[in-house]
Amino acid sequence: MDYGMITIKLITGFIGLWLMTRILGKKEISQLTPFDFVSSLMLSELVGNTVYQKDVHYGQLLFGLAVWFILSYLFEKVTQYARRTRGPLEGTPSILIHNGKVDMREMKKNRLDFEQLRMMLRQKDIFSLREVAYAIFETNGSLSVLKNADFEAVQKQDLDLDTDPSGLTYNLLEDGDYNDDKLQQIGRDRNWLAAMLKEKGFSDPGKLAYVEWEEGKGLYVLQHNRDGQTGSGRLQKAEG
Indicate whether 58 and 115 sit together in one domain.
no
- Same structural domain, 114 and 15: no
Are 204 and 98 within one domain?
Answer: yes
The pLDDT tens digits of the residues spanning 120-179 come to 999 999 988 889 999 999 877 889 998 887 777 665 555 665 655 556 788 899 888 898
Task: Name residue 183's beta-bridge partners.
Answer: none
For the chain, what is the radius of gyration of the CA atoms?
26
Taking residues 212-223, report their average pLDDT. Answer: 86
Supply the range of the domain harboring residue 82. Answer: 3-88
Same domain, 160 and 131: yes
Q: Do 107 and 150 belong together in one domain?
A: yes
- pLDDT tens for 181-212 read 889 989 999 999 999 999 888 988 888 889 99
| Same domain, residue pair 166 and 221 | yes
> Is 118 found in the same domain as 189?
yes
Whether residue 133 sits in one domain with residue 45: no
- The rounded mean pLDDT for the chain is 77
Segment among 1-15, 94-108, 176-190 with least mean pLDDT: 1-15
Neighbours of 200 (CB within 10 A): 15
Residues 123 and 180 in one domain: yes
E-state strands within the chain = 94-98, 101-102, 132-137, 143-147, 169-174, 177-178, 208-214, 218-224, 235-239
Same domain, 118 and 201: yes
pTM: 0.58
What is residue 216's predicted lDDT score, i.e. its pLDDT?
79
Same domain, 210 and 171: yes
pLDDT (tens digit, 9 = 90+) per residue, 63-82?
A: 777 887 787 778 777 766 77
Domain end marker among 58, 73, 88 = 88
Residues 22 and 98 in one domain: no
